Amino acid sequence: MVNAHDLLWGMTLAHLPADAPAWVREAIRAGHPVVVRRAIAEPGHVAVGVRGRVREQRFAARMPVAAVHRRVVPQDLRDVPSARDLPALRALDQLRPVLAQQDWGVSGSAGFELASGIEALHANSDLDLILCTPKHLDRREARALLAILDTAPCAVDLQLQTPFGAVALREWAGPSHRVLLKTVSGAHLVLDPWQAVA
């Protein structure tokens, strides 16, 4: 079973729709991994996204599960070293001990670069992290964790993965009663991200 943010190798040009832009074809031809999206796909397929060279280049597609020959999950990337000196990677080094006792992983551009070796980070990149939280995280604990993340040398975007979807730590630590829970069926405003959406 694959989850949002997993990186998959094995997609080919034949899996792309006919109207896929040239940059998408270039990425697939180069053997780049695709990232699992939160969306419903037909049986035997997984919803994925193709990354381009710039942030605006993101392409939604479907990939046959049978084509996957390698999978890297965010948790696999926690201790992957990098020789590059960038704020996002320095932030990762700083936060590893903070998150050491948790079930966490690296996603976004940092995850893509650490998994593939393809340079995706730049000096202004955020660090995207996920934290698996099968049990309810108290909002006071969320605020305490956010305060630590905010000492990092770049912006850190941490998503709490609940059994029912994902919610931004920054939002859960904030003052709003309702928060945005991202699920396979779309985004929902909820009071408690650890409860199934009605």
Active site residues: 126, 128
Residues 6+ apart with CB under 8 A from 184: 38, 39, 40, 165
Q: What is the rounded (10 degree) CA torsion for 106, 111, 115, 116?
A: 180
**Rounded distance between C-alpha atoms, residue 153 and residue 123, angstroms:** 11
Tokens found for residue 161 = 């993965």
User: If you ran DSSP here, which 8-state letter would residue 16 be given?
Assistant: S
Crossing angle of helices 108-116 and 87-99, in 10° steps, is: 90
List the beta strands (DSSP E) in 18-57. Answer: 34-36, 45-51
DSSP-derived pairing of the beta strands 156-162 and 45-51? unpaired
With tokens 């992290």, the residue in question is: 129
Q: Looking at the chain, how many residues does it have?
A: 198
